[in-house]
Structure 1
Amino acid sequence: MIESIDRALAVMQLFLQEEEPLSITQISRKLGLHKSTVSRTIDTLEGRDFVRKDEETGKYWLGLQVYSLGMLYREKEPLQKVAYPYAKALAMQCRESVHMTSLIQTDAPCPQHVILEKIKSPQTVDIAPPIGSIRPSHCAASGKCLLAYSPKYRDRYVGCKLQKFTEYTITDWQDLLRELEEIRRRGYAVEREEVEPGMACVAAPIFSHHEILAAISVSCPLSHMTAETESQIIQAVQKTAADITQALR
């Protein structure tokens, strides 16, 4: 491992986790690095336009090179090019928000996933995080779906502290492992108010070469998730996930 590159990547991942501009002092404290080391790393990243400094606040934020790389990835990644029409059709069918997510490798102390695609609901106010956001996986339907089919990734974190967001968030690993087993058995994941009060979500896995590639989900206010509509949403999400899996072959 090349330490200087690893430090630079750690700084970039910190911006993703914090989702706000940071000062040299903040980066130093959060990463446990000397300020002089952080300063040299930031200078290098700034010289390549991977970060930019706000002269008024003295804080740094992501530069346009990051935007360019992200847009290039989105444009060329086969999953999103293939899956988007199916995801759009799912959103129109259910009239709710649709997301595609995938697990992400970070230094975070808990499993996390990134939002790859987002299609807003035509009938409710959008409060979900934007594309590119990184979120904890233990409490979200899509995250739990991804963990259920990713044993190597999951096993890296078994026993870690699970953050509580609402009274319904699972924070005990034995309870979580039992739920992941149930997700594998039935082929989909459900979340009710585990992340946000009043919100619900259903997710199903997308596979490529028999390995999970992503999860697709429908999110909606809990009041929309009646017994009848829940069954309809589950069927629609599972069918869409299966159709995308087939299209990727």
Structure 2
Amino acid sequence: MGALLKACALLDHFGADRSTWTLTELTEVSGMNKTTVHRLMATLIHAGWVDRTPDGGYRVTVRLFEIGASALAGLDIRSAARSFMTGLAAEFGDTAYLMVPADEGAVCIDKVEGSGSLVVAGINIGTVLPYHAAAGPVAMLAHSPELRDTWIRPGLQTYTSRTVHEPGDLAAHLDEVRAAGYSVSESDFLEGVSAVAAPILDDVGSVLGSISIGGRSENFSGEVLESKIAHVTRAAHRISAALQAARG
């Protein structure tokens, strides 16, 4: 077995049911000798696919997760949302985003750029965003008790002066978003960028994803903002209904 296949075989042991392994455990489960496992894991660390835990174990990185997340582009939610994203981008000239929840954060699985779109560096298909910043992630966090329980905690990163990061403030903000049914962000993740998002829900109210549009902050105010909120929330409701019908 070549070195590449051996490295892939080691990565296969990492999953939702077992996210961290020690060198001894990987040696035992893989059947390889300890020297080989240590060398292969060192290579994977150097490549950015794996890093070390505080107690010396191994875990896969977000980079590997992002590659896997890009495969989500073929899921049903993308097909259901695509026409609405295209319509929103055409209507307002903003970039439309589709995101789904994951343990690491909100994963962007599709986007459609409008005619006047602001190019937002770093947000592409496969990008993982923090739940407490940007409209799309916040819309999902506000509507998911499970995510709230794990994400609201001290020490959340601040990206701009507008990032809501203190646990009490964040909880109150999420309550407002949930009550409204949509999220509006203004320069809380990237300076000068605003967005509107609404959650995509299943028939029992669990979060399947979010749809959003983002662009220059000066284009998100007054009647234009109200129109964007109405269009985005309507799109989210229709996508939710389509997915619920498809899943019976």
- Shorter-chain TM-score tier: 0.7 to 0.9
Aligned 1:23-172 pairs, distance under 5 A: 24-25=45-46, 30-32=51-53, 73-75=72-74, 77-106=75-104, 112-128=105-121, 129-172=123-166
- 8 Å CA contact 1:115–1:130 kept in 2: the answer is yes
Equivalence for 1:48: none
Q: Which runs of 5+ in 1 are unaligned?
A: 12-21, 43-60, 107-111
Deviation at 1:70, TM superposition (A): 5.9
Which is greater in Rg? 2
Equivalence for 1:197: 191
Q: Name which of 218, 229, 234 aligns with 2:229.
A: 234
Q: 1:226 to 1:70 in 2, by over 3 A?
A: closer
Deviation at 1:226, TM superposition (A): 2.4
Distance (whole Å) between structure 1 residues aligned to residue 81 and residue 47 of structure 2: 39
Letter aligned with residue 153 of structure 1 = L
Q: 1:127 to 1:158 in 2, by over 3 A?
A: closer
Equivalence for 1:224: 219
Deviation at 1:118, TM superposition (A): 0.6
Distance (whole Å) between structure 1 residues aligned to residue 45 and residue 207 of structure 2: 38
Q: Which runs of 5+ in 2 are unaligned?
A: 1-9, 22-42
Deviation at 1:91, TM superposition (A): 1.2
Q: 1:116 to 1:72 in 2, by over 3 A?
A: closer
Deviation at 1:158, TM superposition (A): 2.6
Equivalence for 2:5: none
Distance (whole Å) between structure 2 residues aligned to residue 123 and residue 176 of structure 1: 32
- 8 Å CA contact 2:118–2:216 kept in 1: the answer is no
How many pairs align? 207
Letter aligned with residue 189 of structure 1 = S
Q: 1:33 to 1:142 in 2, by over 3 A?
A: same
Deviation at 1:6, TM superposition (A): 2.5
- 8 Å CA contact 1:28–1:34 kept in 2: the answer is no
